[in-house]
A and B are shown apart, each in its own frame.
Chain A
C-alpha cells in the first residue's frame, strides 16, 4: 500500500489530530472536538482509536492491538494488519514490549510504564448522553460542572436494585473536574485509570471527540459514601494460569452448560503459563 502515507493519514490530518491530543492532555477529561476522517474501517469499529494511533505512531514504535483483552480477536487482528501494511511498524502481543497499545474494552493486566501510550476506542464519549440526548445541552452541563443528574442515575440504581447497576463504561471524575466515560471497559479496570504512568488517549471517530488522561492523573469512580465503588470480577481463578487477580471471561465448554473461567488478557495468561503457573484445567506451556 505504498500509495498511502505513513500510517494511512496525510500529515496535515495527523497534525490536526495531534493538536487535539495536546489540547486533550492539557484539559484532562475534556472532550475535544476534532474533524474525524472517514477511515477504511466502519464507524464503531475503532475509527477514533485508529486515527489517534495513526497520529501517535512513529516508524520506530512497537504496536499492540487488543479487543476484549485478546490479541487474536478478529477486529484486533484487522487493525493490527492495517498498521502493519500502512505504517510497517513492528507489532507485538507482549504488553511490556509495546510502545503504543490500541485497546477496545480492556486495560491490560500488566502495569503500564512511562514510555507507553494506551489508545482506547470509544463508541459514545459522552457520559451524560443517556441522561440527556442533546449535545448542545451536555456540553453546557460539562462547562458549568452540572453533574447532579449523573448521581441521580446512580441514586435510581440503588433505590431499584440495592446497588449501582453499572458494570462497564462506569463514569469517573477526572482531576476533580470533568466527568468522563472511560469507554466500555469493565469497572474492574477502573482503578487502573488513575495514577497511571502511561499516557491514556481516547478516540471517538463517529462522534468526533478526543479526550485524554495525562500520566499520574487522579481518576475517581463516581459513587456514594455508603455505596462505595467496587471493582468486581468473577469469583474464580483462571482455569489455565491460576491467576486470581485478572479479569476473567466465562467460557461455555459443553452442551450441559458447563463453564470455565479464563483470563481475558491473553498475553497476561500466556506469560504466566510461560513462567510455570498452572490453573486447575491448564497444562504447562508447550504441552497444549
Chain B
C-alpha cells in the first residue's frame, strides 16, 4: 500500500531546529558576539557590506553570525533585508580626494605628496601561522606616530595636469539604481561600475586575473589604492543645502593603463576604476581591471572575444546571490519535468528500436 510522502512542513521545522543547534556549536565554548565579529572579522564584514550593498557593520556582523560564517549566505541575508528599506534619495558624490586615509599607496611613483602609507596590510607579513594567536592574550600595542594633517591628493591628478590622462566624460545626472530599475543592456559605465561594485569578489578576481594572463590584456598599473573614511552628504530639498549624514569606509583603486592612441588622438593613459565599501582591496583592484577591459568599445580597442570584454557575460553573471540561488535551485524537486523527459526518452528509444527491427 502506497502512501504519498507527506510532512514537508515537519521536516522543514526539524531542519531549522538542527541548524540552530549547529550554528551554536559546542555549548561548552563561549558564544560569539556580534561585536566580536564586527571588531575581529572586519574584512569579512567589509565584504558582506560591499556585496550586500548595505553599509551597516552591525547588521553585516549579525548576518555572518547567522550564516555560520558562510559569507555568500550572509550577503544574501543583507540583500533580503535591504529590500525592505525605503529609498530616500541619492547622496552627493563622495569626495574620495578628501578621504581620511588609513592606507594609500601608489605603484607608479616612488613618492608623492602625502606619502606612501602602508596602513594595516597583510602585504609584507610572512604567511606563517602565528601560534601565539591560538593562545589567549592581548596583542602588543602598535607603535604610534602623530600623523601630520596633510592632504593626500589623488595621484591621477598629477598625470591629468600634464594632459596624459584621457578625459573622463561628464556623468549625466543621478546614476541609475540597479536595485530599483531593471538592468538595461548595453549598460553605460555608471551602471557597469555599480554592478561590479556589488559583484562577487571571486568572480571579478578570476576575470581580472584572466586579463593579466592575456585574455584582453590591458597593462594595468595601480596608480593609487586608498582606503579610509569619507563623509557622505545629502542635499535636503527642504533645507536647500547639503548635510553630512555620516562616514563610510571605502576602498578606491585607480589603475593607469596605456592607450596607444589613434590617428586623431595622441597616445595617452586610460583609467580603470574600482570603488568598494569597507577595506576590500583585492576586490577594488579586480574591479578596476574588469572596468578597464569592458571599456574596449568606447576606446576603439579590438574585441578579442575575451570573457572580461563581454559586458553581457560579466554583468549577467557577477552577482553571487543570483548565481548561488539559481545554481542551488537544482536541488529542488524537478520530478515532473524529469518524468516528461523519461517518457520521451523511453518513447524515442522504443521507436528507434522499431526502426532498427524494421530495417533488419
Contacts and interface: CB of A to CB of B under 8 A. Distances in A.
B12 A74 contact: yes
B263 interface: no
Interface string B316-328: 1000011011111
A86 B12 CA distance: 18
Main SS class of interface, B = helix
Interface string A146-172: 000000000000000111010111000
Contacts of A283: 1
Nearest to A210: B182
Contacts, number: 161
Contact of A73 (B1, B8, B86, B184): B8
Contacts of A239: 2
A248 interface: yes
B343 A233 contact: yes
Contact of A44 (B326, B333, B337): B326
Contacts of B312: 134-136
A233 B343 CA distance: 7
A168 B76 contact: no
A34 B182 contact: yes
Given A38-B80, A38-B82, A234-B339, A74 B11 contact: yes
Given A10-B86, A38-B321, A288-B1, A168 B341 contact: yes
B239 interface: no
B19 interface: no
25 contacts: A36-B182, A42-B76, A42-B321, A42-B328, A43-B322, A44-B327, A47-B325, A69-B336, A72-B7, A72-B9, A74-B332, A123-B326, A163-B344, A163-B348, A165-B348, A168-B337, A186-B336, A186-B340, A188-B340, A206-B326, A232-B344, A232-B347, A250-B342, A260-B2, A283-B1
Given A75-B332, A232-B347, A264-B336, 9 more contacts: A33-B182, A42-B325, A68-B334, A68-B336, A72-B7, A169-B337, A249-B336, A249-B339, A283-B1
Interface of B: 1-9, 11-12, 76, 79-80, 82-84, 86, 179-186, 312, 316, 321-322, 324-329, 332-337, 339-344, 347-348, 351-352, 355
